[in-house]
Amino acid sequence: MTRGGTKVLNIVGYGRSGSTLLDLVLGQLPGFTSVGELNFLWERGVLGNQLCGCGKPFGECRFWQDVGEEAFGGWERVDAAAMLALRRSVERQRLIPLMAAPSVSREYQARFRTYADVVRVVVEAVGTVSGARVVVDSSKLPSTAFLLRRVPGLDVRYAHLVRDSRGVAFSWQKRVVRPEITASTTYMPTYGTLRASAEWVFHNLLLHTLGGRRALLTYESLVRDPRRSVASLLEQLGLSAADADLAFIGPGSVELEPTHSVAGNPMRFVSGPVELRLDEEWRTAMSPGSRRLVSALTWPLLGRYGYLTRSESRA
């Protein structure tokens, strides 16, 4: 399939910024299908057999079994451990310079081409099985975004999602159970204020160098006015939707059907009518010292994204 055949809407940004919510909403649109964080396909899906967004283990989900059959003749025909090792040797943040110019290293270029072909085959299989014209991938990482940009046969658009860095840093300190792991109680990782602030800046700065068709959206605007935010995002990315397509989005709620997300925030298991409430617990629960520290470490981008000009968003 030539470039422009399979459209991918890649949600990019830093974790705890609302990407799962945006992924779920976009996945409800006619002609769209959401697969969650596709970069975790081998680790959490094929090898880990963790729960799909539909609630079934990956190996029992009919959708993903059909994708495996379409792509490879079945997941059992693929050495999943080798695929995971290949991804880790190609798609890492420190390897972004090589992703931008893989020909610098012949060895890396060979691995890149092999893995890029696998990514293309999987994405095209998702499109075929779902019948969707747009595959929504909420992998978020800049490394995934830079890789997708160079996968032949894919037409990739980027939804750059940002959230106030103070809310992000506060969220990374919470202990959140991962319900997709049923054998034991496992928590999502937690980061301290310094690491969360540094990575928020690093991820977002990298994404400004990405190029391609990219539109910026804030978590706060998504929750406050979801229909207008989604409509504007799609228009900027050349994926406009009719008013009727957005009927499931109310002024303060959305009606969600289950998706087949392979990984993501626990919210991906939510379906039915969902009330949208802005999570700003950081305003009252975050210590003044931590708020000032995050503001100082991230202020240039906070200003660029408009947070420092809004009285309600000041530290």
Tell me, yes or no, whether 86 lies in a domain.
Answer: yes
Q: Cα separation of 40 and 84, whole Å?
A: 9
283-299 pLDDT, tens digit per residue, is 999 999 999 999 999 99
Tell me, yes or no, whether 194 lies in a domain.
Answer: yes
Picking from 13, 27, 5, 85, the residue whose alpha carbon sits closest to that of residue 262 is 27
Q: In this prediction, what percent of the chain has a pLDDT beyond 90?
A: 89
187-239 pLDDT, tens digit per residue, is 889 999 999 999 999 999 999 999 999 999 999 999 999 999 999 999 999 99
Picking from 63, 131, 143, 51, the residue whose alpha carbon sits closest to that of residue 99 is 143
Q: Cα separation of 266 and 16, whole Å?
A: 11
Confidence of residue 245 (pLDDT cuts 50, 70, 90): very high
Tell me, yes or no, whether 290 lies in a domain.
Answer: no
Give this prediction's pTM: 0.94
Q: Provide the β-strand partners of residue 12.
A: 140, 160
Q: For residue 183, what is the DSSP state?
A: S
Q: In this prediction, what percent of the chain has a pLDDT beyond 70?
A: 97
Nearest-5° angle of CA 275, CA 277, CA 280? 160
Confidence of residue 91 (pLDDT cuts 50, 70, 90): very high
Tell me, yes or no, whether 14 lies in a domain.
Answer: yes
17-72 pLDDT, tens digit per residue, is 999 999 999 999 999 999 999 999 999 999 999 999 999 999 999 999 999 999 99
Mean pLDDT score, 100-119: 94
Helix 193-207 vs helix 142-149: angle between axes, to the nearest 10 degrees? Answer: 20
Confidence of residue 312 (pLDDT cuts 50, 70, 90): very low
Tell me, yes or no, whether 291 lies in a domain.
Answer: no
Tell me, yes or no, whether 301 lies in a domain.
Answer: no
Q: What distance lies between CA 93 and its chain's CA centroid?
A: 15
CB 147 within 8 A of CB 119: yes
Tell me, yes or no, whether 306 lies in a domain.
Answer: no
Res 2 pLDDT > 50: no
User: CATH number for the domain including 132?
Assistant: 3.40.50
Instruction: Write out the two tokens for 274.
Output: 């969902």
Mean pLDDT score, 81-98: 96
Q: Cα separation of 45 and 238, whole Å?
A: 31
* Parent domain of 61: 10-278
Q: Cα separation of 54 and 269, whole Å?
A: 7
How many domains is the chain partitioned into structurally? 1
What per-residue string of b and e applies to 154-186 under the rule 16 or more CB within 10 Å gives b? Answer: bbbbbbbbbbbbbbbbbbbbeeeebebeeeeee
Tell me, yes or no, whether 3 lies in a domain.
Answer: no
CB 164 within 8 A of CB 283: no
Confidence of residue 309 (pLDDT cuts 50, 70, 90): low
